[in-house]
Amino acid sequence: MPDISAKDVAALRKVSGAGMMDCKRALEESEGDLEKAKTWLREKGLAAAGKRAGRAAEQGAVDVSFGGGVGALVELTCETDFVAKGEGFKSTVATLAEQVAGEGEDIASKPYAGDTSQTVDEYVKHMAGTLGENIGLGRIARYEVAGGLIEGYKHIQNERGTIGVLVELAGVDPSDPKAVEVGHDIALHIASAAPRWVNREDVPADVVEAERAVLENLTRNEGKPEQAIPKIVEGRIGGFYKDNVLVDQGYVRDPKVTVGSLLSGLGSDARVTRFIRVKVGEE
């Protein structure tokens, strides 16, 4: 039997939401393999379906810049929220977002827009020395579109941006106030609901098959009649899509309305082509 440490159990509890003894048993049954243990818990009905707790990362702040068909998102990482919510730190990440919007994602070796005597990399290292923390560039993204719409959203918590979103809409008039409003609403929704894919077709086939296998085992372990299992599993697969696919999700401000319905109100050609969501502390 593998040696299961308290650290292993704690890690599994964090990502599964299951109890301590259940996590210990799952790791024992899975010979210490975390992914297999997560699957074992789900098949036994001991973990929330589709639960995706992000792996603990660093503290930091995120900012977004968007307009004129261009959007940028920058994360700056540090060790404590005390530093992350400092005015200098927040100002830096905002400046970096503007710089990425104007110059592209590859900014580390370029002069920092807030102090052109130093490169971005040099400036960040200087911040680290001044503040006495490990500070670094985190995730960076830039969207640019011709004829479509880029919208963004920044969720503020503990005095700094903790979630940043960019979303691209096609098949809409970027000068249409209604399209801008819906784009903003969808960006806000993404920040809250954390979808993984835009459409069902974007979900990799192996992910669907793995989910189906878990749900089949879960349903069977619940004692459901064998002949009823396929229909029950199909219903649960539909639930998986509603949890993880953007256009299938109920809009956070009105769960009876799907995000897909919001889009259809802009015309038959309106669609989300891509999005990115970055939350400080998750990967």
Mind spelling out the 3-state secondary structure of 50-70?
Answer: CCCCCCCCCEEEEEEEEECCE
Phi first, then psi, for residue 166 (nearest 5°) are -125, 140
Phi/psi-derived region of residue 281, left when phi > 0, alpha when psi is between -120 and 50, beta in every other case: left
Structural tokens at position 194:
């954390």
Kindly report the average pLDDT of the chain as a whole number: 90
For 139-158, the pLDDT digits (tens) are: 999 999 988 999 999 999 99
pLDDT at 283: 67
CB 59, CB 81: distance < 8 Å: yes
> Mind giving me the DSSP string for 115-146?
EEEEEHHHHHHHHHHHHTS--EEEEEEEEE-S
For 72-110, the pLDDT digits (tens) are: 999 999 989 999 999 999 999 999 999 999 999 999 999
Q: Which residues contact 216 (CB under 8 A, 6 or more apart)?
A: 229, 233
Sign, CA dihedral 73-91-85-188, equals: negative
pLDDT at 4: 82
SS3 192: helix
Measured CA to CA in angstroms, residue 126 lies from 77, 115, 120, 130, 235 at distances of: 14, 12, 10, 6, 55
| Assigned architecture for domain 1-53 | Orthogonal Bundle (1.10)
Domain regions of the chain by residue span: 1-53, 59-185+269-279
Give the H or E element holding residue 182: helix 177-193
> Under CATH, domain 59-185+269-279 is a member of which superfamily?
Elongation factor Ts, dimerisation domain (3.30.479.20)
| Measured distance CA(14)–CA(108) in Å, rounded | 34
CA neighbor of 99 nearest in space, from 90, 89, 88, 110: 110
Check whether 25 has a pLDDT greater than 90: no
CA neighbor of 214 nearest in space, from 52, 54, 44: 44
For 232-283, the pLDDT digits (tens) are: 999 999 999 999 999 999 999 999 999 999 999 999 999 999 999 999 988 6
